[in-house]
Homo-oligomer: A and B are copies of this chain.
Amino acid sequence: MGIIVQKFGGTSVGTVDRIQNVANRVIEEKNRGNDVVVVVSAMGKTTDQLVGMAREISPSPDKREMDMLLTTGEQVTISLLAMALNAKGHPAVSFTGWQAGIKTEAVHGNARIVNIDPGTIQGELNQGKIVIVAGFQGMTEDGSITTLGRGGSDTTAVALAAALKADKCDIYTDVTGVFTSDPRFIKNARKLYSVSYDEMLELANLGAGVLHPRAVEFAKNYGLPLEVRSSLEKEAGTIIEEEVKMEQNLVVRGVAFEDDITRVTILGLPNSMTGLSTIFSALAKNRINVDIIIQSMTEAQTTNLSFSIKNEDLTDTVKVLEKHREQLNYDRIEWESGLAKVSIVGSGMISNPGVAAEMFEVLSANEITVKMVSTSEIKVSAVVENSKMIDAVDALHDAFNLSVSPVKA
């Protein structure tokens, strides 16, 4: 008997029938004797439709109003799920982000959670109710509605689980767990029985897509076990926790990939101590996420700096750089869009030199040009052309033996 937080994503609640199915999954958990808190996303493509309407109104709608708009999506889901549970005889009550006590910083579109007051939720749990909370949203100190950015519902679920001292947070999604690569594109991809937080972080950051990195970090900080599992199939999913018991023999645990990347290069940048910090703090202030950064310091007076961003951030990035042109004193900016990032991940890499070399050999043997490289202790990423992305992943997946059946958990 404890508290379980369940999170159901947009696909899992995409139709009225699926919401009924989710209600049944919730009731199963409740019937095991647990207190259940459910976090849900907006139904199916609702968020995309809302964004579409906003863009019809204005090419760059203001972010406060965008948050006001988008948060309606989850509010619809929570009420429908609460109705479904009540109709099935299981008292349930729904809360928006602000009602659930989720306070965020005063940033629109991508706010971080500052604090959660779990009092209201705990009160309802104590009365035996199932509590449904709108994911992805919170409120600033002065009462404005905010959103947590991409994957925000995962963050809501994990943060609530931490605040409520829950035993476990189950992330229900449209796949049955974490895979060695995305099974929608890579036919040999297979499910992992468990991964460590760090591996999951790299996989999540690298576009594996099943779980948001902020949520994984949150879970790691609180030592909270996560399980990624299917909302439709009953089979066990993938446990994410500190110690990984199985499959330790694999050096590479997964191949992640992400498209729609742009490489921006600043040419003729004077060698100075302050240039880099000026650039990246200006980009950060504008909430532009920079991924790979490459700079080779040379003896010359000037240097070239490259970094990768999402395609969608290109316009803003160029604006920011042009605004600081005088201060930075660079020669010019170039960019290349239509790129993708392919990454191999695995904590076994730490003790296995030569993994990166093997990766480049495989890519080279498949005539795939590497445009940028980035490495960490447990991953190696290569930027390639969008059109070569799936070929690269297939080749790496086979080369690192990920297509072989795993040891059963």
- With A56-B16, A99-B143 known as contacts, the answer to whether A69 contacts B80 (CB < 8 A) is yes
| A297: interface (CB < 8 Å) | no
- A residues 57-93 near B (Cβ < 8 Å) are 57-58, 61-62, 64-66, 68-69, 71-73, 75-76, 78-80, 82-84, 86-87, 93
Are the C-beta atoms of B83 and A58 separated by less than 8 Å? yes
Are the C-beta atoms of A61 and B76 separated by less than 8 Å? no
- A residues 164-209 near B (Cβ < 8 Å) are none
A341 to B194, CA, bound (A): 68
Are the C-beta atoms of B75 and A57 separated by less than 8 Å? no
Report chain B residues within 8 Å CB of A308. none
Are the C-beta atoms of B62 and A86 separated by less than 8 Å? yes
Are the C-beta atoms of B57 and A68 separated by less than 8 Å? no
Report chain B residues within 8 Å CB of A19. 57
| A350: interface (CB < 8 Å) | no
Report chain B residues within 8 Å CB of A56. 16
| A153: interface (CB < 8 Å) | no
- With A65-B79, A79-B65, A79-B66 known as contacts, the answer to whether A84 contacts B57 (CB < 8 A) is yes
> Of B16, B65, B94, B145, which is within 8 A of A57 by CB?
B16
> Of B61, B69, B87, B145, which is within 8 A of A87 by CB?
B61
| A282: interface (CB < 8 Å) | no
Are the C-beta atoms of B80 and A57 separated by less than 8 Å? yes
Are the C-beta atoms of A87 and B58 separated by less than 8 Å? yes
Are the C-beta atoms of A58 and B84 separated by less than 8 Å? yes
A64 to B95, CA, bound (A): 11
Are the C-beta atoms of B53 and A82 separated by less than 8 Å? no
* Copies of this chain, whole number: 2
Output the nearest chain B residue to A70 by Cβ-Cβ distance. B79
Report chain B residues within 8 Å CB of A72. 72-73, 75-76
| A50: interface (CB < 8 Å) | yes
Output the nearest chain B residue to A142 by Cβ-Cβ distance. B120
| A328: interface (CB < 8 Å) | no
Report chain B residues within 8 Å CB of A271. none
A16 to B99, CA, bound (A): 30
Are the C-beta atoms of A65 and B87 separated by less than 8 Å? no
A143 to chain B, nearest CB (A): 6
| A355: interface (CB < 8 Å) | no
| A311: interface (CB < 8 Å) | no
Are the C-beta atoms of B53 and A16 separated by less than 8 Å? yes
A69 to chain B, nearest CB (A): 4
A177 to B291, CA, bound (A): 59
Report chain B residues within 8 Å CB of A96. 68, 145
A94 to B66, CA, bound (A): 11
Given contacts A61-B87, A69-B80, A75-B75, 9 further A-B contacts (CB under 8 A): A50-B76, A54-B83, A66-B79, A68-B79, A69-B76, A69-B83, A71-B75, A72-B72, A99-B143
Binding site for B on A (CB under 8 A): 16, 19-20, 50, 53-54, 56-58, 61-62, 64-66, 68-69, 71-73, 75-76, 78-80, 82-84, 86-87, 93-94, 96, 99, 120, 143-145
When A and B form their complex, which 10 residue pairs have the shortest distance between CB atoms, in order from nearest? A58-B87, A69-B79, A72-B72, A68-B79, A61-B83, A65-B79, A16-B56, A65-B82, A57-B83, A65-B83
